[in-house]
């Protein structure tokens, strides 16, 4: 059964059909790519899954339960996490604290207990944060303010912060934007490592070097609709995709 | 000496007011409601000691609790709106409270004298401290005990995860909810804590001035409340105290020798300070620097 299933999902902003009747099924353990030209509705799809806007039509089923109109923080609690296209860290908190405040999973709450959920100290969470700092290569920067990190480090911290919510599914919104090819190679390793830990990945991306190299399956959006879906090899050969990207004429 | 004790009393009460706004401001909410909670606390505590014959501590506990309840009740609807809309909504609440007390008559005869709030005349003769023979120094120490307690509470918050969560919400609400933080719970709880501190401050204020009236709780007081944490910076609770000492001790009292020029300089100096220290006296980088100087620990903001 699919971990995330979108059925006829639409979101209209006035007359603009940002996402229009989108069907998508992301299987457990997959790295699923979502690509498309600018303005094709990829980021809107991510925002709809995390509940930042209500749906105009359709439904989103995650882990066997319909999200309905569930609030964003409750969706995160059920096991969805995301990163942002334009990095959104808590700049005046330290790197360590950025991960600390993201520990909102039911498992972490249970570990802290009811009262110490909010007011308690750092018992039982240090190891997990250390592990995430190690994972993202930021251990030596843990006391820096997030705002003072370099661009690539901020991207890594944001990924680690999403991991700190203990997600089943992670939505990466253009994680490779602005990265050089060495950083992209590192990111690719991290994504594979996340999948190996059992996290399903939905990767929204422009950088084909990353998408084609790492995904199991790809869906292509154009003007809010899905125009193709398949393996990376199938997608590269698809004439509809080539037309959407290169603007070729219908033959 | 009494002059300095009196000044310390004013600084203490304004510190409580500033701290109440500090908690709410940590979550990024600019509120002008603090003077309203302060007024509720003042009238309630005054009525309890004067009319009901309570001693001071239970009366302050009640004023603080009521401040919290009112803040929680106001917080739910008010915190649905943000930014300027919240400023207007909380301002309206503050004015509503002030006008309520402007029209509030509840007098009871005690030993041939009518006591209690009398609308626009105000609430006179809240004489718990003089009747019990407290000196100015006693009152000052009493006030500062509560200031220290409130600071300790907020300092503890700051060290705890709750403090980091408050700041996370203040930095970026969208990111905060996207890591699973319940924005409503965090904002309303901060407002409730702020209301408790403001209610306590109001209760104390009523007793050291012995005479309260609606006009004292207007927009000017609300502006002072929010100005302290902004001026002091959100890095630490100490910033708010520094700002209160700067405003009440230096600008209001210290510059009295300048006569009429003082009011002019008051505004100008605040503008200068905000330009030199746009994030307040004690902002995050300054605190990090201080902490490194003393070899501080991780995990604190």
CATH number at residue A205: 3.40.50.300
Cβ proximity of A202 and A26 under 8 Å: yes
A171 interaction partners in chain B (CB closer than 8 Å):
none
End-to-end CA distance of chain B: 38
Q: Do both A157 and A37 map to the same domain?
A: no
Domain positions in chain B are: 2-226
Hey, is the C-beta of A122 within 8 angstroms of any chain B C-beta?
yes
Hey, is the C-beta of A52 within 8 angstroms of any chain B C-beta?
yes
> Which residue does chain B place closest to A97, by CA atoms?
B299
A145 interaction partners in chain B (CB closer than 8 Å):
284-285, 288
B168 interaction partners in chain A (CB closer than 8 Å):
90, 93, 97-98, 101
pLDDT of A88-115, one tens digit each? Answer: 999 989 999 999 999 988 877 777 765 5
Q: Do both A160 and A172 map to the same domain?
A: no
Record: contact A100-B299, CB cut-off 8 A: yes
Q: Do both A177 and A228 map to the same domain?
A: yes
B181 interaction partners in chain A (CB closer than 8 Å):
73, 101, 104
Q: Do both A161 and A171 map to the same domain?
A: no
β-partners of residue A57 are A10
B25 interaction partners in chain A (CB closer than 8 Å):
none
Q: Do both A23 and A65 map to the same domain?
A: yes
Number of domains in chain A: 2
Of A166, A183, A209, which marks where a domain is finished? Answer: A166
Cβ proximity of A59 and A131 under 8 Å: no
pLDDT of B187-238, one tens digit each? Answer: 999 999 999 999 999 999 999 998 999 989 999 999 999 999 998 888 888 9
Record: contact A120-B160, CB cut-off 8 A: yes
Residues of chain A with pLDDT under 70: 113-124, 247-251
Residue pointed to by tokens 């094709």: A40
Structure tokens that stand for B215 in this block: 């006009």
The pLDDT assigned to A122 comes to 56
B288 interaction partners in chain A (CB closer than 8 Å):
145
For chain B, the average pLDDT equals: 89
Of A166, A192, A214, which marks where a domain is finished? Answer: A166
In Å, how far are A218, A247, B17, B88, B228 from B21, measured between CA atoms?
Answer: 50, 56, 7, 16, 8
The pLDDT assigned to A47 comes to 95
Structure tokens that stand for A225 in this block: 């609709």
* Pairs of CB atoms within 8 A across A/B: 95
Record: contact B298-A94, CB cut-off 8 A: yes
Q: How far is B180 from chain A (nearest CA, A)?
A: 4
Record: contact B298-A105, CB cut-off 8 A: no
Of A116, A141, A166, which marks where a domain is finished? Answer: A166
Record: contact A118-B165, CB cut-off 8 A: yes
Q: Do both A56 and A18 map to the same domain?
A: yes
Q: Do both A171 and A69 map to the same domain?
A: yes
H/E run at residue A13: strand A2-13
Q: Do both A72 and A4 map to the same domain?
A: yes
Cβ proximity of B129 and B207 under 8 Å: yes
Q: How far is B190 from chain A (nearest CA, A)?
A: 12
For β-strands A225-230 and A217-222, DSSP reports them as antiparallel
Residues of chain B with pLDDT under 70: 295-301
B182 interaction partners in chain A (CB closer than 8 Å):
71, 73
In Å, how far are A217, B141, B195 from B16, measured between CA atoms?
Answer: 59, 14, 11
> Which residue does chain A place closest to B298, by CA atoms?
A143
Cβ proximity of A223 and A40 under 8 Å: yes
The pLDDT assigned to A113 comes to 61
In Å, how far are A100, A140, B181, B288 from B299, measured between CA atoms?
Answer: 9, 15, 18, 11
Cβ proximity of B232 and B241 under 8 Å: yes
Structure tokens that stand for A77 in this block: 């609690």
Q: Do both A24 and A50 map to the same domain?
A: yes
Q: Please count the other Cβ atoms lying within 10 Å of the Cβ belonging to residue A168.
A: 16
> Which residue does chain B place closest to A102, by CA atoms?
B179
The pLDDT assigned to A1 comes to 73
Considering only CA atoms, which of B40, B16, B37, B39 is closest in space to residue B248? B16
The pLDDT assigned to B296 comes to 55
Q: Do both A51 and A64 map to the same domain?
A: yes
Q: How far is B9 from chain A (nearest CA, A)?
A: 31
Q: Please count the other Cβ atoms lying within 10 Å of the Cβ belonging to residue A70.
A: 15
In Å, how far are A146, A220, B271 from A150, measured between CA atoms?
Answer: 9, 32, 33
In terms of residue numbers, what domain contains A55?
A: 1-79+167-251
Q: Do both A174 and A248 map to the same domain?
A: yes
| Alpha helices (H) in A151-180, listed in sequence order | 151-163
Provide ipTM, 2 decimals.
0.90
Q: Do both A205 and A107 map to the same domain?
A: no
Cβ proximity of B63 and B40 under 8 Å: yes
Record: contact B160-A119, CB cut-off 8 A: yes
């Amino acid at each position: 059964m699919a971990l995330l299933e979108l059925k006829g999902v639409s979101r209209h902003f006035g007359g603009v059909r940002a996402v229009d009747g989108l069907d998508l099924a992301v299987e457990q353990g997959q790295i699923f790519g979502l690509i498309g030209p600018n303005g094709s509705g990829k980021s809107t799809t991510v925002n709809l899954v995390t509940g930042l806007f209500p749906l105009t039509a359709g439904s989103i089923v995650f882990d066997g339960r319909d999200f309905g109109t569930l609030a964003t923080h409750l969706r995160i609690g059920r096991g969805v996490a995301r990163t942002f296209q334009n990095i959104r860290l808590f700049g005046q908190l330290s790197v360590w604290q950025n991960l600390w405040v993201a520990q909102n999973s039911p498992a972490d709450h249970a570990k802290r207990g009811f009262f110490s959920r909010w007011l308690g100290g750092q018992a039982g969470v240090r190891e997990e944060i250390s592990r995430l700092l190690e994972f993202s290569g930021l251990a030596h920067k843990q006391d820096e303010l997030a705002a003072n990190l370099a661009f690539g480090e901020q991207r890594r911290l944001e990924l680690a912060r999403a991991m700190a919510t203990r997600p089943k599914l992670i939505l990466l919104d253009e994680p490779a934007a602005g990265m050089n090819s060495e950083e992209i190679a590192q990111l690719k390793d991290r994504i594979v490592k996340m999948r190996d830990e059992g996290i399903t990945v939905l990767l929204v991306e422009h950088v084909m070097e990353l998408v084609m190299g790492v995904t199991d399956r790809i869906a292509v959006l154009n003007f809010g609709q899905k125009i193709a879906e398949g393996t990376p090899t199938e997608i590269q050969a698809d004439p509809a995709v080539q037309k959407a990207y290169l603007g070729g004429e219908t033959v | 000496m009494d002059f300095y004790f009196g000044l310390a009393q004013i600084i203490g009460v304004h510190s409580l007011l500033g701290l109440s706004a500090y908690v709410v401001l940590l979550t990024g909410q600019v509120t002008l409601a603090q003077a309203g909670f302060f007024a509720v606390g003042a009238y309630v505590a005054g009525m309890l000691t004067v009319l009901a014959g309570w001693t001071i501590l239970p009366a302050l506990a009640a004023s603080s609790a009521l401040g919290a309840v009112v803040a929680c009740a106001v917080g739910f609807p008010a915190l649905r709106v943000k930014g300027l809309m919240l400023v207007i909504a909380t301002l309206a609440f503050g004015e509503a409270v002030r006008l309520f007390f402007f029209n509030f008559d509840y007098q009871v005869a005690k030993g041939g004298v009518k006591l209690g709030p009398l609308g626009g005349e105000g609430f006179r003769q809240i004489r718990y401290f003089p009747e019990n023979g407290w000196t100015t120094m006693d009152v000052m120490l009493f006030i500062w005990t509560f200031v220290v307690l409130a600071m300790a509470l907020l300092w503890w918050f700051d060290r705890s995860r709750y403090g980091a969560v408050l700041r996370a919400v203040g930095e970026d609400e969208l990111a905060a909810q996207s890591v699973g933080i319940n924005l409503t719970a965090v904002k309303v709880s901060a407002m409730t804590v702020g209301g408790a501190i403001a209610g306590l401050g109001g209760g104390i204020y009523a007793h050291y001035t012995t005479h309260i009236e609606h006009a004292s709780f207007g927009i000017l007081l609300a502006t002072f409340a929010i100005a302290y944490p902004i001026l002091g910076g959100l890095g630490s609770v100490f910033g708010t105290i520094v700002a209160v000492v700067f405003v009440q001790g230096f600008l209001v009292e210290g510059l009295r020798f300048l006569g009429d020029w003082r009011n002019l300089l008051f505004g100008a100096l605040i503008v200068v300070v905000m330009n030199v220290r746009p994030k307040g006296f004690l902002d995050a980088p300054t605190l990090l620097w201080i902490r490194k100087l003393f070899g501080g620990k991780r995990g604190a903001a």
